[in-house]
Amino acid sequence: MKLKFTKMHGCGNDYIYFNCFEQQVADPEALSIRLSDRHFGIGGDGIVLICPSDVADAKMRMFNADGSEGKMCGNATRCIGKYMYEHGLISKPEMTLETLSGIKILKMTEQDGKIASVRVDMGKAILKPSEIPTRYEGDTAVSVPLTVDGTEYAVTCVSMGNPHCIVFVDQDVNTLDLPKIGPSFENHDMFPERINTEFIRVIDDHTLQMRVWERGSGETLACGTGACAAAVASVLNGYCPKGEDITIHLIGGDLNIRYTDEAVFLTGPATTVFEGSIEL
């Protein structure tokens, strides 16, 4: 059996995409584990299925490198928009995308017949701890204490369809030993469904530096929902203004986030790396 795929990335957050309008993918959990391996597979942070939808232009299913299914991925949504437009599955540079976190609206910027960037309406940020979910009580979890491996951190928890724990640090985030501390955050018992963790240095009131540890994938070069959660947390903690563009520097590139009362908007690039087929 052969499957056609397209390797794409958003700021280095790379996935293997399958057009399920034209083919069926069996056992995507096991396939993600196999293909995500960067030495013995294609290599990526997981796989993404672009599927038909009864309620939108397409439906996204995404699976992490450990085979677990994710509810939402901001970088993957942008790549799907680019794929749909450039492969003629939609005729306008605007589309709706069904996800496990609801329907997202994508608006694309075209340049020379190609999609250069995509803006995604990510919906409202979820701040209630029980809905994120975390085991904190109350209406929000903003700058609350969390002890990890004997060190106490002040963390802010936000969901953008998947759970995030944001930690503000005073140092260059590139100096952090993320492979050591990341798993301890991810699997902390305060987070019943595990957690994505963003480590943020505030550069100024419109600029952040970020590294991310993603549940199920480990460190990735970028995380769209994580960037959104970081921007929301920066506003809630008084570092950045609401309703204005915030630039977030990630290892893989820059993302632009705007947090308003109505929604969080994510804008960034989407890149096709290569296409191919794999025999299973």
Taking the C-alpha atoms of residue 260 and residue 122, their distance in angstroms, rounded to an integer, is 11
Q: How far is CA 213 from CA 25, 28, 261, in A?
A: 28, 23, 27
Residue 240 among the catalytic residues: no
Catalytic residue among 73, 79, 165, 240: 73
Residue 11 among the catalytic residues: no
Catalytic residue among 11, 79, 223, 240: 223
Taking the C-alpha atoms of residue 207 and residue 198, their distance in angstroms, rounded to an integer, is 15
**What positions carry a catalytic annotation?**
73, 223
